[in-house]
Amino acid sequence: MGKEARGVWGHLSDGDCEGKLLWEFPKLIFRGAHRGIFQGHALRYIKVEGNDLVLNDGTRFEMEPGEADKWLHAILNPPGRLDKLGVKPGQTVVVLGLEDEEFLEELATRVEPVEAEENIDLLFLGVEDLADFDQLEDLIGGLGPKGAIWIVAQKGKGAPLKDTEILAAARGHGLIDTKVCSFSKSHSALRFVKRKAGPPAASKPVEDDVAFDDEI
């Protein structure tokens, strides 16, 4: 859901240099001889001047013609929860063990969840203890070629499951974790896909918003 541009000339408080500009919600990151991470107030009054993307503190980034407008639009219109979870119209989506009315209503605006046992694109599984992972073996068999399982669990110090326990349980069923994101104020979601044929490879989740034990 982010953006990346190379060969961007940055004018920062530390000096001017060429580098790489990244938009990884909610952070705008510049990496060159000088570096900077901008978020919150720094992006509040972001604007475009000619081909430059200009921040609130005067920092500016020279971009290719037309690119600054695209970046401005992306920054001012951050991805919503369904976008971060990869929910798209027309997908076969299954929800199990997850009684979150707000999420279900939001999900219904894009796709209606169904009861399906095959060719599942996205499966959202709510877990509260390790026994909930016993059903994974059957559920994995119902995934489509590019299907994924989002395991949704309570986060924070009082959570019944630790992130390490969730990872170990899912990996034990041949799944690989690919992404973690904030699901709600109380829960996080970790995305898993089936391991491809071949020797097991070490996997490491790619952080999106917060890790399982982080607080919003």
Task: State the chain's mean pLDDT as an integer.
Answer: 90
DSSP 112: -
Q: Residue 197's pLDDT is what?
A: 64
Tokens of 106: 């939001």
**Model confidence band, residue 143 (pLDDT cutoffs 50, 70, 90):** very high
Is the pLDDT confidence value at 201 over 60?
A: no
C-alpha 157, offset from chain centre: 22
Closest among 216, 139, 151, 198 to 179, alpha carbons compared: 151
**Mind listing the pLDDT tens digit for each residue in 88-117?**
999 999 999 999 999 999 999 999 999 999
- The CA distance from 18 to 34, in Å, is 9
Mean pLDDT, residues 152-164: 93
Establish how many alpha carbons lie within 13 A of residue 203's alpha carbon, considering only the half-sphere containing its beta carbon: 24
Is the pLDDT confidence value at 199 over 60?
A: no
Q: Residue 206's pLDDT is what?
A: 42
At position 128, the amino acid (one-letter code) is E
Q: Residue 196's pLDDT is what?
A: 78
Is the pLDDT confidence value at 213 over 50?
A: no
**Model confidence band, residue 207 (pLDDT cutoffs 50, 70, 90):** very low
Is the pLDDT confidence value at 19 over 70?
A: yes
Is the pLDDT confidence value at 67 over 50?
A: yes
**Mind listing the pLDDT tens digit for each residue in 25-52?**
889 999 999 999 999 999 999 999 999 9
